Amino acid sequence: MIVILDYGMGNVGSIQNMIRKIGCRDVIISRDPIAVENADKLILPGVGAFDMGMESLERFGLIPLIRAHALEKGRPLLGICLGMQLLGERSEEGNLPGLGLLPFRCVRFAPPADSGLKVPHMGWDRTYIQADTPLTAGLEAKERYYYVHSYHAVCEDPSAVLMTCDYDGTFPSALYHGSVYGVQFHPEKSHLYGMKLLKNFVERC
């Protein structure tokens, strides 16, 4: 069973619909501790501010369940957008520590005033695969995904970088370690490209 974590901060319905569209019916939206504890796979979505996300996870008692799922059971976990950022160590956007499941921090985009680049980074953009994993199996080297974010990952460990994107410089747009994956873009809004990636998570990870 796949559980999409409902902590009040994500496009949970869109993600569930996309997963069902690829043929998986065993997917639910829940914050129920028993469902989360028994999940084969977890998806941590997210839209909003970093500290608010961590506070919501704590309020619903989800932090120890997420950690146990990934660290003790070694089961697949996918973070999306803010959900990916929460998997890291910290963010300039807030003061609370992240889940610490992936080795990165988040900083705000700061393009030069004369660059013509806007914050947030919004819209479709090329994304370059850097590692061969179950999540990226069969994908093209330069997939296009839909982004909406003002903060981006900074990672000193190149072995954790799964995909990159170019916007005000190159930044990690997907990271991974073991069974834990995080993507900054929105696969549920990325049509066929996102469908292929989610299909890999469902069937291969």
Q: pLDDT digit string (tens) for 81-101? A: 999 999 999 999 999 999 999
Q: pLDDT digit string (tens) for 105-156? A: 999 999 999 999 999 999 999 999 999 999 999 999 889 999 999 999 999 9
Domain housing 31: 2-203
Tell me if residue 55 is catalytic: no
Q: Which of 24, 69, 81, 149 is catalytic?
A: 81
In this structure, what CATH number is given to the domain that contains residue 148? 3.40.50.880
Q: Which of 69, 149, 152, 186 is catalytic?
A: 186
- What pLDDT shows up at residue 142? 87
Tell me if residue 191 is catalytic: no
183: pLDDT confidence band, cut at 50, 70 and 90?
Answer: very high
CB 101 within 8 A of CB 160: no
Tell me if residue 149 is catalytic: no
Q: Please give the tally of structural domains in the chain.
A: 1
pTM: 0.97
Where would I find the beta strands (DSSP E) of 32-186?
41-44, 77-80, 90-91, 105-108, 121-129, 142-149, 151-154, 161-166, 170-177, 180-183
CA–CA distance, 186 with 77 (Å, rounded to integer): 15
Q: pLDDT digit string (tens) for 117-130? A: 999 999 999 999 99
- What pLDDT shows up at residue 10? 84
CA–CA distance, 205 with 136 (Å, rounded to integer): 10
